[in-house]
Amino acid sequence: MNVSFAAQLNSVLAALILLTAFGLLVQRRIYGLLHIFAWQGFFLSVSTAVVGYSASLPHLYISAVLTLTIKVIVLPYILYVLIHRLRIHKEVEEVVNIPTTMLIGIALVIFSYHLTAPIRELSVFITRSTLAVALATVMLGLLMMITRKKAVTQIIGFLAMENGLFFAATSATYGMPLVVELGVALDILIAAFIFGIFFFQIRTTFDTLDLKAMEKLKEEE
């Protein structure tokens, strides 16, 4: 695999990651969100492996395997069990309607490309063209957290934002040190379990995971 082909393949994978970020914004079904999140993790793991191969960095293979295991298999499974046990079967409820959210998302992508333009010109890495996509993925994940009512969907937005941060690290510096990546992976798993316990407690106390409903209960008190 020559450098130019690796750069092109990485750009295609970056486009797919950005597409899944928009997919998370427009998806109305909760299980659909899990599928799209898993696909995003898969594209991220393949991109990491491609960068590791082209740059001759073996530690990125470990990062790719960790990403594949945690973000494609473990986290979606934990979230699936959580959603199933909490009996969440309704469609995703948004604060801002989808067309408006998409327009905001497109504006964030344009802003990301404008913000990272100087860095792309100075960078010599094959991943320099994907840095804007990584930043856009972070912003779209944050946008998803802001525009969703349910706590579970906000957590998926948070995890998608973390995917963008990981992709940005790979794009800007060919990844973080392995010890840091292992620590982050462990923190994400622990956070997933804590979120699960937290959601069960909320459901038991308030009988809902709708943040708007909980705000009303607080106002009534």
Q: Where are the domains of the chain?
A: 3-220
Q: What is the reported pLDDT for 23?
A: 92
Q: What is the pTM of this model?
A: 0.79
Contact 32, 150 (CB under 8 A): no
Q: What is the reported pLDDT for 89?
A: 62
Output 84 or 219, whichever has higher pLDDT: 84
Ordered DSSP codes for the chain: --HHHHHHHHHHHHHHHHHHHHHHHH--BHHHHHHHHHHHHHHHHHHHHHHHHHTT-THHHHHHHHHIIIIIIIHHHHHHHHHHHHT--SBPPBSS-HHHHHHHHHHHHHHHHHHHHHHHHH--STTGGGHHHHHHHHHHHHHHHHTB-BHHHHHHHHHHHHHHHHHHHHHHHS---HHHHHHHHHHHHHHHHHHHHHHHHHHHHHS--BHHHHHHHHHH-
Say which range, 59-63, 113-117, 142-146, 173-177, has the weakest mean pLDDT.
173-177
Contact 57, 177 (CB under 8 A): no
Q: What is the reported pLDDT for 140?
A: 93
Q: Is the pLDDT of residue 193 over 90?
A: no
